[in-house]
């Protein structure tokens, strides 16, 4: 089997996510997390063109929302691109980040509050409830707060 370079792989992921957002399968989609802003920036021209082609929007995320939905190492210190169609979706994402930060600051980011943030993020990503439940349950690498 032929190997694929990381840039081409990321372009394929971005285009696929754009198609899913365009089709209404996902409200919010994420690129694969990237280790550096430089790696992310190299993809911006392609990502912007892909979003334009599908009528979607792009948000550069250098401080991703960390929840129990995904292993902490997947996103901590990473750089990402968010793809969405409607402005209210980005607003919901940013409100969710703000709410989590408030909960952490108030020292009440545990139990039901913590679980609710992960669930709300999963719903924003248009994941089915069973998938959200499974991802949270199987995640053994959670953020220490």
Total number of domains in the chain:
1
The CA distance from 8 to 134, in Å, is: 30
The CA distance from 26 to 141, in Å, is: 25
- pLDDT at site 2: 81
CB distance 76 to 143 below 8 Å:
yes
The CA distance from 126 to 21, in Å, is: 10
pLDDT at 1 > cutoff 80: no
Q: In sequence order, which ranges of 24-127 are alpha helices (DSSP H)? A: 37-54, 72-75, 87-105, 111-124
The CA distance from 39 to 60, in Å, is: 12
- pLDDT at site 75: 96
pLDDT at 41 > cutoff 90: yes
Q: What is the mean pLDDT of residues 117-127?
A: 98
Residue showing tokens 């679980």: 115
CB distance 69 to 139 below 8 Å:
yes
For residue 145, is it within any domain?
A: no
Q: What is the mean pLDDT of residues 42-52?
A: 98
- Structure-block tokens of residue 72: 């902490």
Domain that includes residue 20, residue range: 6-138
> Which residues face 80 on adjacent strands?
61
Closest CA to 30 of 72, 79, 101: 79
pLDDT at 94 > cutoff 80: yes
Calculate Rg over the CA atoms of the chain: 15
For residue 107, is it within any domain?
A: yes
For residue 45, is it within any domain?
A: yes
Q: pTM (2 decimals)? A: 0.94
For residue 143, is it within any domain?
A: no
């Amino acid at each position: 089997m032929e190997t694929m370079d990381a840039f081409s792989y990321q372009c394929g992921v971005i285009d696929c996510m754009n198609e899913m957002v365009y089709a209404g399968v996902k409200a919010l989609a994420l690129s694969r997390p990237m280790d550096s802003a430089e790696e992310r920036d190299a993809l911006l021209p392609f990502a912007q063109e892909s979003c334009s082609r599908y009528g979607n929007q792009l948000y550069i995320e250098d401080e991703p929302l960390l929840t129990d939905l995904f292993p902490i190492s997947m996103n901590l210190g990473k750089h990402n691109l968010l793809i969405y169609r409607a402005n209210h979706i980005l607003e919901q994402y940013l409100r969710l980040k703000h709410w989590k930060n408030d909960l952490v600051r108030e020292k009440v980011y545990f139990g039901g509050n913590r679980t609710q943030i992960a669930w709300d993020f999963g719903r924003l990503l248009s994941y089915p409830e069973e998938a959200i439940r499974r991802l949270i349950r199987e995640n053994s690498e959670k953020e220490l707060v």
